[in-house]
Copies of this chain bind each other. A is one copy, B any other.
Amino acid sequence: MEPELSTREHSGLLTDLYELTMAAGYLQTGFDARATFELFVRSLPKRRNYLVAAGLEQCLDFLENVNFTAPEIDFLRRHPVFRNIRDEFFDYLAKFRFTGDVWAMPEGTLVFAGEPILRVSAPIIEGQIMETYLLATISFQTMIASKAARVVTAAQGRPVVEFGARRAHGAQASLLAARAASIGGCQGTSNVLAGQRFGMETYGTQAHSWVMAHENEALAFRHFLDAFPDHAVLLLDTYDVHNALREILAMGRKPAGVRLDSGDLVKDSRWIRRELVRAGWNDVKIFASGDLDEDKMAALMKAGASIDAFGVGTALATPGDSPHLSLVYKLVEVERDGNVRGAAKLTTAKVTYPGAKQVFRFSDAVGKYSGDEIALSEEPERNAEPLLVQVMAGGKRVAKPETTLQARKRCLTSLTRLPDRYRQLRRDVSYPVRYSTRLKALLETVKRLVHRAKSI
């Protein structure tokens, strides 16, 4: 019999098994240390000039509330891998709370390769168990917010509504995708629950099925106008776009808008605008949707399509040009018996810089971003904006949650400060990010230590 399907939001089992085997191993062998982990991408996806940080709010909610129930601990106790593990581990899990400190880039901040989006300092076991949840949550929402910022850029000021619920990875993913798309600049969503939960504007019109269900198209339009005299947006492409518009014009009842979901959007939208203007219906909006992405939207705008707003679904819920972010969560520092030691992974092509870090963002005279420096967190402040701020101390938030709209505003403001050559859709040049001299020196020191350890 399948157990119930509901997700326990704050279950400590929302992790990879190896996080728990390592946790058990640290306890069993008396390895007592405080560790710092950092979450970052090694390189930007090919078609991204920048990323937009998102997902922090869900991470903080999880960190504040994560725990293990008795049935969950029982499940682990029966797992063969834990056969030799002492009760100490299971007792530990029963009392488990996250007690660490967290520094992070606020949601909506622009991020580049190598820059920590989030840094956790905690007892090593706690930091380890949290890895999977933090990676999944930041990775997913940052990917969507970053795509949304491109789509919104391509819309050149016209509103973009997120339509991706039906392409999302299940119900919860649809809510979080809508949220992340809003942080990236979308005006609203079709997802009603996301609207209710996150205070976002929701939009919706009619589907082809409305038209198909009626005996004929004119009747379908008339019924919709009856129900929604001020808000009817009529879908024109069920059978024939020109015929559909003529039926509406002949009816003489002005809708709030019309929508095109397929066909030649340039030709059709221009023809529709001419007909609307001829009828004196200058304020009827033309909405476009149907497998749109930033490239298609840019091409439509360039070709002179007459579109007032866009609905974008698949490209926002599951971006095909970058369907995942290779976010990593790396151990950068270990403190044990009073000794602090930088940690680094050194296999070829996958080097990580050791040490707890801060990112400084420099601006030019007119306030445009001119470049970033990744430094050790203990280095003196630069004449630049430090991007990582403390969001959690001893497992508790240090400030009350931000709203999605505050994060959206941060993103939109940041984008106005990003020079056009990085904001554009194409990648011509990379935004300059350098490592501090002290950080580079620490990497060399760690390399020498590892080589010495090997030769012993």
Residues of A within 8 A of B (CB): 1-9, 11, 13-22, 24-25, 28-29, 31, 33, 35, 37, 57-58, 61, 71-72, 75-76, 79-81, 83-85, 124, 128, 131-133, 135-137, 139-141, 163, 165-177, 190-193, 195-199, 202-210, 212-217, 223-224, 226-231, 237-240, 243, 262-263, 314, 317-320, 323-324, 326-327, 329-331, 334, 343-350, 400-404, 450, 453-454, 456
Contact = CB atoms under 8 A, between A and B. Distances in A.
The 3 A-B pairs of least Cβ separation, nearest first, read: A17-B204, A18-B204, A169-B169
Given A404-B2, A453-B215, A17 B136 contact: no
B166 A131 contact: yes
A54 B334 CA distance: 44
Given A334-B213, A456-B216, A18 B80 contact: no
Nearest to A209: B331
A186 to B, nearest CB: 14
B173 A2 contact: no
Contacts of A453: 215-217
B9 A9 contact: no
Contact of A168 (B83, B136, B228): B136
**Copy number of this protein in the oligomer?**
2
A393 to B, nearest CB: 20
A18 B24 CA distance: 50
What does DSSP make chain A's interface, helix, strand, loop or mixed? mixed
A212 B345 contact: yes
B29 A227 contact: yes
Contact of A318 (B3, B177, B262, B324): B324
Given A9-B6, A230-B84, A140 B163 contact: no
A29 B139 contact: no
Contact of A13 (B15, B58, B193, B454): B193
A212 B140 CA distance: 27
Given A84-B228, A217-B453, 8 more contacts: A5-B61, A14-B193, A16-B192, A17-B191, A25-B227, A58-B170, A212-B344, A318-B318
Contacts of A71: 196
Given A137-B170, A343-B213, A190 B18 contact: yes
Nearest to A350: B262
Contacts of A72: 196
A167 B139 contact: yes
A268 to B, nearest CB: 11
A231 B14 contact: no
A170 B166 contact: no
A27 to B, nearest CB: 8
Contacts of A450: 239
Contacts of A6: 9
A22 B209 contact: yes
Nearest to A163: B16
A83 B230 CA distance: 9
Contacts of A168: 136, 140, 169
A170 B176 contact: yes
Contacts of A454: 216-217, 239-240, 243
A262 B347 contact: yes
Contacts of A169: 136, 140, 168-170, 173, 176-177
A85 B198 CA distance: 24
Contact of A140 (B170, B191, B228): B170
Nearest to A171: B14
A75 B209 contact: no
Contact of A173 (B4, B124, B173, B456): B173
Contacts of A141: 170
A19 B204 contact: yes
Contacts of A61: 5
15 contacts: A1-B401, A2-B403, A15-B191, A17-B203, A21-B204, A21-B205, A22-B210, A81-B228, A83-B230, A131-B207, A172-B172, A173-B173, A216-B456, A217-B453, A238-B346
